[in-house]
A and B are shown apart, each in its own frame.
Chain A
Amino acid sequence: MGLRQFVDKIKPTFSEGGKLGFLHSTFEGFETFLFVPNTTTSKGAHIRDCNDIKRVMIVVVLALIPAMLFGMYNLGYQAGIEGILPAFWFGFLKMLPMIIVSYVTGLAIEFAFAQKRKHEINEGFLVTGLLIPMVMPVSVPLWIVALSTAFAVIIGKEVFGGTGMNVFNPALLARAFAFFAYTPQMSGEAVWYADGATGATALEQLSTTGAMQWSALDAFIGLIPGSMGETSTLAILIGAAILLFTGVASWRIMLSVFVGGLAFGYLFDAVGLTEFPAYYHLLVGGFAFGAVFMATDPVTSAQTNTGKWIYGFMVGALAILIRVINPAYPEGMMLSILFMNALAPLIDYFVVERNIARRKKLIKNVK
């Protein structure tokens, strides 16, 4: 019996009125996972396109893979394990439980809400579930991962109406929750190594002493301690290339985040607030990761093209501002993206208003 026949056979059980009718969203989720849906949109204007949420999300997951694989290797490397494969295996075993916990918690909640509200299960969590472990320190307890994932999915997403309606990036919200609720487990010197060793990250060293023990090249390749996905600017740039080539992420946002960061980096360097080259900012900490994977989130960023430039520039600029000026937060990327998430609709509003005013003036002139 083929898979299609089997799915068709069990379909009535899960449909409205069937024995397991309350699980119909789950069934539908797995059916569309296996087969292309054969239904068409019946009302409203819609564009016929091969791109759906599922495909977009898979591309983002693909783009995340280089950074993830490198992060696993780096965990082993930082723990002092010789050889590429043993180091990778060590990191893989450390990271796998976090990825599983994040997916299980998040998907369970998503499925429950989809069931209750009788809508389809969205694929948005595929990306969020992978992003969450990648922005956490390796030694964070698994229950913190589970709790922050639950918080991000319920308070950050489902209360606003689910995927596509959220104001804030869920993965960053999970990190912000963990950061403020369990600060000792999320920052400081003791959390970045898998084998119990301690030491400041490059970012912390830069903010306290103005210099770091690693070279800029090490920081670029990613052989520095840090959250699992964020260390390697190189691997992140590979991901960025995938996102830009497939057109999934906005190049305007990505570019303007880097421009904003560099501009403020040079500004603070020029007035003497920092003692290291401005481009260091882009190599250490979560700046590159945030710029490529977090700021470009199509749901929470600005929608208009002009708005995207302003939004991106402000994300980069604010991140550096927080890093340099506020000693309490060595890493400003999380806070700046969340803050700009909140302002993005406002930026769009003014861009649209300005456009309307300009067109109105045009009409007047013709008359």
Chain B
Amino acid sequence: MKLSKNFTNPLAANNPVIVQILGICSALAVTVKMEPALVMGLSVTFVCAFSNLIMSLLRNGVPSRIRIIVQLVVIATLVIVVDQFLRAYMYDVSKQLSVYVGLIITNCIVMGRVEAFALGNKPWDAFVDGVANGLGYAFILVLVAFFRELFGSGELFGIEILGDWYTPNALMLFPPMALIIIGCIIWVHRTINKDLQEK
């Protein structure tokens, strides 16, 4: 029961992007097309899950005064693993993502989950929490990229969906439109979840 709630909460009711408003910068930067958005989402999921797991295992051995630096070492190592993996097996996507893979280190979601959850919970719970938060982030990224690629280039995953009759909307390819789309997602989300509405 607790585990399933751990897993479903970050996906919708407590989504890191549209409720906690974290990780917005990368959500604007990598969502022009579906493919990089999906890869970015999965990368963050991987980093988030394993940094949570490792920090949860170490949580009783790390003095609280130096915990931030230990977290950074763990997260940075995982990010380098991801970066090298992408360069080796998905070079094109790695090129498109450019610096944003390295910048996963600064993604507030990763450090936020380690600080807020992994340091006070058992390894398995922390791992599930990391996966769920990463997937919640990935879901929003893919959703934004869906609208941006479909209406901005008339394609999905590089395959033409809308025919010649469609005039691509170039504004969709600019970052401001990603912000507006995220805004619209938040709008819909809060209309459904009335308890999230600010008074």
Contact = CB atoms under 8 A, between A and B. Distances in A.
5 contacts: A155-B180, A177-B171, A180-B171, A181-B171, A181-B172
B183 A159 contact: yes
A203 B170 CA distance: 24
A32 interface: no
A305 interface: no
A208 interface: no
Contacts of B174: 180
A182 interface: yes
B170 A159 contact: no
Interface size class of A (residues with CB under 8 A): under 10
Interface size class of B (residues with CB under 8 A): under 10
Nearest to A144: B167
Contacts of A355: none
A282 to B, nearest CB: 30
The 10 closest A-B pairs by CB, nearest first: A181-B171, A181-B169, A180-B171, A181-B170, A155-B180, A183-B170, A177-B171, A180-B170, A182-B167, A180-B174
A159 B180 CA distance: 11
Interface string B168-186: 0111101000001001000
Which residue, of B169, B174, B183, has the highest number of chain A Cβ atoms within 10 A? Answer: B169
A177 B169 CA distance: 10
Contacts of A185: 167
Interface string B156-197: 000000000001011110100000100100010000000000
A214 B71 CA distance: 68
Interface in A140-184: 155, 159, 177, 180-183
The A interface, classified by DSSP as helix, strand, loop or mixed, is helix
Given A180-B171, A182-B167, A183-B170, 6 more contacts: A155-B180, A180-B170, A181-B170, A181-B171, A182-B169, A182-B170
A181 B152 CA distance: 9
A197 B169 CA distance: 25
A274 B171 CA distance: 31
A302 to B, nearest CB: 24
Contacts of B180: 155
Contacts of A155: 180
B186 to A, nearest CB: 11
A339 B187 CA distance: 25
A165 to B, nearest CB: 16
A155 B170 CA distance: 17
Contacts of B183: 159
Contacts of A183: 170
Contacts of B170: 180-183
A155 B171 CA distance: 14
B57 to A, nearest CB: 45
Nearest to A178: B171
Contacts of A180: 170-171, 174
Contacts of B172: 181
